[in-house]
Amino acid sequence: MKFIGSRISHQNKNGIFSVVIAASVERSKETLLATWLFFWTCSGIYFITQLFTPLPKETKLVIAVLLTFWGYYEYRIGLIFLWRKFGYESIKFADDKLVIRDVIRGRGKSREFFIDNIPHFAKLKLEEGWVKSMDQSFWVKGNGYIQFQYQGKLVHFGKQLTDEETSKLLDLVQRELIERKRKR
């Protein structure tokens, strides 16, 4: 197994070339996410208990509406916490396919692409500023910085990589794509 930076590893074993990109963050940021999730959960439990107290119907309706938004963000921050704690991105070249998968605790949906239908990989260019800083923040899953065209759609992978990591990974997967196409 070889490494590109601290979060990216790759290996070529039994004809399968695989890349793993860890989603982990520093311990302090992970603790901050856990704290946020804990207090967010506690506030939701408090609002749920208020539905069972003698309050006017209008107040209970407002609490119910608030709880729908709360539930959505509870799900989102819970998912991000699990992604940062146990998640990774898996990119595999196997035979004539590229398989991309976001994995949390061994579970995740695979997306398969035939190599012959992938013309090349390209680096996603994000302008410096608010959008890029939000995409790099630890409380979001982020977008992929490597992309390719597949049957009229853009596909992204390589979430929250630095420019250097993106360039190295782009070179690595581009070489593998060319090599696999050449062998066919």
Tell me the one-letter amino acid at 22.
Answer: A
Give the pLDDT band of residue 149 (cuts 50, 70, 90). Answer: very high
Note if the pTM is more than 0.85.
yes
Residue 131 has pLDDT above 90, yes or no: no
Give me the chain's average pLDDT, please. Answer: 93
Give the pLDDT band of residue 136 (cuts 50, 70, 90). Answer: confident
If 0-12 CB within 10 Å is exposed, 13-18 middle and 19+ buried, where does residue 168 land? middle
Q: Are 109 and 162 in contact (CB under 8 A)?
A: no
Query: pLDDT at position 109, please?
Result: 93
